[in-house]
């Protein structure tokens, strides 16, 4: 899982980057704590385009327009949870569920979903280990038995 991962990458962003590198999502939005030039150098070497801001947020994508649009959308005021989820490649059902609580409700939603019981293969979609970089999804599933999230988790390279 950590092969090809840059040393500056926070643990919580490993899943996002692994999914992007496997072409399982069109863009990854990350918060980094290193100079943008270092992130840009890594991105170029690995075939990604980067858009970044002064707050340390960067968006990586194989297409420059996507990276730019995701960052612009994210920085725009107002409700944009659903549009951002779509641009980041999250399942439609999960994007809708996240949009009901808005950006400010995602952490609470994560806690609620992570506390549920995940049976059988659905244990793969439990987001509880995301901050440690050991989750298979970079989004909060809409339910503890979301089929769309399971399909994505089964395709994640860490499986």
Average pLDDT over residues 107-126: 96
Q: Is 105 inside a domain boundary?
A: yes
Q: Is 104 inside a domain boundary?
A: yes
The whole-angstrom separation of Cα 116 and Cα 156 is 22
pLDDT at 23: 95
Structural domain including 50 reads 11-155
Average pLDDT over residues 107-115: 95
Q: Is 94 inside a domain boundary?
A: yes
Q: Is 3 inside a domain boundary?
A: no
The whole-angstrom separation of Cα 130 and Cα 66 is 24
Q: Is 82 inside a domain boundary?
A: yes
Q: What domain count does the chain have?
A: 1
The whole-angstrom separation of Cα 87 and Cα 66 is 8
Q: Is 1 inside a domain boundary?
A: no
The whole-angstrom separation of Cα 70 and Cα 20 is 14
The whole-angstrom separation of Cα 115 and Cα 158 is 22
pLDDT digits (tens, 9 = 90+) for 128-149: 999 999 999 999 999 999 999 9
C-alpha closest to that of 36 among 67, 63, 2 = 67
Average pLDDT over residues 11-29: 94
Quote the percentage of the chain above a pLDDT of 90.
87
Q: Is 4 inside a domain boundary?
A: no
pLDDT digits (tens, 9 = 90+) for 99-110: 999 888 999 999
C-alpha closest to that of 141 among 31, 121, 132, 157 = 121
């Amino acid at each position: 899982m950590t092969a090809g991962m840059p040393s500056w990458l926070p643990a919580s962003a490993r899943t996002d980057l692994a999914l992007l590198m496997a072409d399982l999502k069109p863009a990854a939005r990350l918060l980094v704590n290193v100079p943008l030039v270092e992130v840009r150098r890594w991105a170029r070497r690995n075939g990604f385009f980067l858009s970044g801001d002064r707050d340390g947020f960067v968006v990586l994508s194989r297409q420059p327009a996507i990276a730019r649009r995701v960052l612009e959308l994210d920085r725009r005021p107002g409700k944009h949870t659903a549009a951002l989820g779509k641009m980041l490649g999250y399942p439609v059902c999960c994007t809708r569920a996240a949009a009901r609580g808005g950006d400010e409700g995602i952490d609470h939603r994560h806690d609620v979903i992570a506390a549920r019981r995940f049976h059988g293969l659905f244990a793969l979609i439990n987001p509880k280990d995301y901050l440690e970089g050991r989750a298979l999804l970079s989004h909060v599933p809409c339910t503890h038995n979301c089929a769309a999230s399971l399909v994505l988790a089964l395709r994640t390279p860490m499986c």
